[in-house]
Amino acid sequence: MVRLLGIIKVLAILGWDYYLLFIVFGDGVIAAVVTSAIALYVWLGGYLSLFKEGAVRSDRLTAYDRDRLNESRGQLIADVKHTSSVNLSGLKIYLIPGDDDMQATAYGANCVSISRGLFENACSVTLNAVLAHEASHIISFDPEFNRAFFCSVTLLIAALSLMSAASVVIVFLIFILLGSFSSWMGFFLFRGSTKVVRGAFGVVQKLIVVSYRSVIGLISRRAEYRSDRYACTLGYGLQLAHFLEAAGREAPRQLTLTEVLYRSHPPTQLRVARLQEQINNEKRNTYGNTVN
């Protein structure tokens, strides 16, 4: 059911893209072709990010590293199958050799990466806890949704840019027809009019970008909390909380575009607090007493 809902939300965004393209071009074929290209990026775009980050698939690692990741992968597949009946046998795990941060990322298409920093500093159970969190993103199609949403906003901004350029041309033609370029005053009026038009569209574009950041941030935070709960359901709540506390000590830095798409996280202390609350609730349900 969760996977179906994930597919539906991605298809809804792609449907909106087709509608917007059809309005802009007025041609169903063009809209379908461009939407198909977007759908291809939504489906396989994670591979581009993996290539950009120099990711290495687990079956191409040394025997020790490959065996360790395969062990975690097998345990995760079994845990997910037992808890939610979801088959993740197609899961592919990648290692980011040049990333010393302690982090993991879900890219969609059953692809998950872990950093060298996480791989070298986390025990097997902690590694499984982080992978369980990322598995929730894979099951819910969160990476695909983020890419689809990003494409929609990009299309909307591009459409506004075209409208802005078209408006300037219309203003130019109006001034030509009215003979307003016969004097310097007409020329300055034309320049002022074009600045107003471009400025108005620029303000709208900035509002869209700000709204996109706010909305994608809210969506990402909800997805992170949900994935934390899922890892806790699989029995890794305590290990995930410890990992978050350890990883949260790293110095904050400016997020890249890839991190905005895939790693927009709520404050660590809030995630840990919610995990602890869920752990305590599960203990109360199991043992029937209050756990402090």
Q: For residue 253, report the phi and psi dihedrals to the nearest 5 degrees.
A: -150, 170
* Alpha-carbon gap, residue 118 to 72, rounded angstroms: 13
Question: Is the residue at 31 inside a domain?
Answer: yes
192 CB contacts (<8 Å, ≥6 apart)? none
Question: Is the residue at 40 inside a domain?
Answer: yes
Question: Is the residue at 120 inside a domain?
Answer: yes
* Alpha-carbon gap, residue 119 to 74, rounded angstroms: 16
pLDDT in tens, 192-224: 778 877 788 788 878 877 877 777 778 888 999
Identity at 75, one-letter amino acid code:
Q
DSSP string, 29-67: HHHHHHHHHHHHHHHHHHHHHHHHTT-EEGGGS-HHHHH
3-state SS class at 99: coil
Q: Which residues span the domain enclosing 98? A: 2-144+217-287
Starting at the edge strand found earlier in the chain, the sheet holding 104-108 runs 56-57, 92-96, 111-115, 104-108
Question: Is the residue at 249 inside a domain?
Answer: yes
Quickly tell me which residue has 């509002």 as its tokens. 207
Number of H helices, E strands in the chain: 10, 4
Question: Is the residue at 211 inside a domain?
Answer: no
Portion of the chain with pLDDT greater than 90, in percent: 47
User: Are residues 140 and 3 in contact, defined by beta-carbon separation less than 8 angstroms?
Assistant: yes
Question: Is the residue at 15 inside a domain?
Answer: yes
* pLDDT-based confidence at residue 119 (cuts at 50, 70, 90): very high
Question: Is the residue at 184 inside a domain?
Answer: no
Whether 78 has a pLDDT exceeding 50, the answer reads yes
Torsion (CA) 179, 182, 186, 188 in degrees, nearest 10: 140
* pLDDT-based confidence at residue 291 (cuts at 50, 70, 90): very low
3-state SS class at 96: strand
Question: Is the residue at 53 inside a domain?
Answer: yes
User: Are residues 274 and 241 in contact, defined by beta-carbon separation less than 8 angstroms?
Assistant: no
272 CB contacts (<8 Å, ≥6 apart)? 241, 244, 245, 248
Per-residue pLDDT, 237: 92
Q: How many domains does the chain have?
A: 1
Least confident stretch, 57-66, 159-168, 218-227, 268-277: 159-168
* pLDDT-based confidence at residue 137 (cuts at 50, 70, 90): very high
pLDDT in tens, 12-69: 999 988 998 898 788 899 999 999 999 999 999 999 999 999 999 998 999 999 999 9
Least confident stretch, 32-46, 77-91, 259-273: 259-273
Burial state string for 202-222 with b = 16 or more CB within 10 A and e = fewer than 16: eeebeeeeeebeeebeebbbe
